[in-house]
């Protein structure tokens, strides 16, 4: 088995998603994931503390990109405009592998209560990062919280539509997250 071949982290994630889909999360072992990815168990543990953390792969990067995009939005931008800048930055990090894995990942998460909980924590963490980035821009807390949550909801909705496009689709995720955020703006305006 290869120890330090390039792309081991990505291969581990792909192998895990495939195995979770085929066998179920609970029935899949770290050894099986490592074997499918063509690496040793010790290589697995260099990248991830356990199999739950495979699905959080990239979470820190997404949070960082979202925060950077919000922070770099033009001065005086509305909270949702700043969130849109963050979503654009995050969307740029998503490529064909993310699109291809999404339906399988969705199925694996739907079949496991533990993975559903992990997915909810990822969303909450992303919303908290967005909220804090907005507060750092001087946005009052309640407004920052609503805008941060709307941003995460827009990301989830946009990602769902984008990932259904399949391998052949060439549209960018940012198109879908932007459209989802626009839909949510309209929806919030009709709440009163």
Estimate the share of the chain in helix, then strand, then coil, as percent rounded to the nearest 5.
75, 0, 25
13 in Cβ contact with 100 (< 8 Å): no
Are 39 and 134 in a shared domain?
no
Domain span at residue 27?
8-53
Are 70 and 163 in a shared domain?
yes
Residue 1 lies in a domain: no
pLDDT value at 101 more than 90: no
Tokens (6 digits) for 83 = 């969130």
Q: List the one residue out of 129, 119, 139 whose CA is nearest residue 66.
A: 129
Are 37 and 90 in a shared domain?
no
126 in Cβ contact with 63 (< 8 Å): yes
Please report the pLDDT score of residue 75 as a whole number: 93
Are 181 and 120 in a shared domain?
yes
pLDDT value at 165 more than 80: no
What's the rounded mean pLDDT across residues 40-56?
A: 87
The CATH number given to whatever domain includes residue 24 is 1.10.10.60
pLDDT per residue over 33-44, tens digit each?
Answer: 999 999 999 999
- What is the domain count for the chain? 2
Classify residue 6 as exposed, middle or buried by CB count within 10 Å of its CB (0-12, 13-18, 19+): exposed
Are 42 and 91 in a shared domain?
no
The CATH number given to whatever domain includes residue 134 is 1.10.357.10
Please report the pLDDT score of residue 169 as a whole number: 64
According to DSSP H, which parts of 137-172 are helical? 141-163
Are 45 and 120 in a shared domain?
no
149: Cβ contacts below 8 Å, ≥ 6 apart: 127, 131
Are 140 and 46 in a shared domain?
no
Classify residue 64 as exposed, middle or buried by CB count within 10 Å of its CB (0-12, 13-18, 19+): middle
Are 88 and 16 in a shared domain?
no
pLDDT per residue over 119-154, tens digit each?
Answer: 898 899 999 999 999 999 999 999 999 999 999 999
Please report the pLDDT score of residue 2 as a whole number: 45
């Amino acid at each position: 088995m290869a120890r330090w071949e390039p792309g081991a982290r990505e291969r581990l994630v792909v192998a895990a998603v495939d195995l979770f889909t085929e066998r179920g999360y609970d029935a899949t072992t770290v050894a099986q994931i490592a074997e499918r990815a063509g690496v040793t168990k010790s290589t697995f543990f260099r990248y991830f503390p356990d199999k739950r953390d495979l699905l959080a792969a990239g979470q820190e990067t997404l949070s960082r990109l979202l925060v950077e995009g919000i922070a770099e939005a033009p001065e005086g931008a509305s909270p949702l405009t700043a969130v849109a800048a963050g979503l654009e930055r995050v969307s740029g990090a998503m490529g064909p592998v993310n699109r291809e894995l999404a339906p399988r990942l969705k199925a694996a998460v739907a079949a496991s209560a533990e993975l559903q909980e992990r997915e909810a924590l990822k969303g909450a963490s992303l919303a908290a990062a967005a909220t804090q980035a907005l507060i750092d821009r001087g946005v009052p807390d309640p407004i920052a919280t609503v805008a941060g949550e709307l941003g995460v909801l827009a990301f989830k909705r946009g990602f769902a539509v984008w990932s259904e496009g399949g391998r052949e689709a060439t549209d960018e995720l940012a198109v879908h997250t932007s459209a989802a955020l626009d839909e949510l703006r309209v929806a919030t305006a009709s709440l009163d």
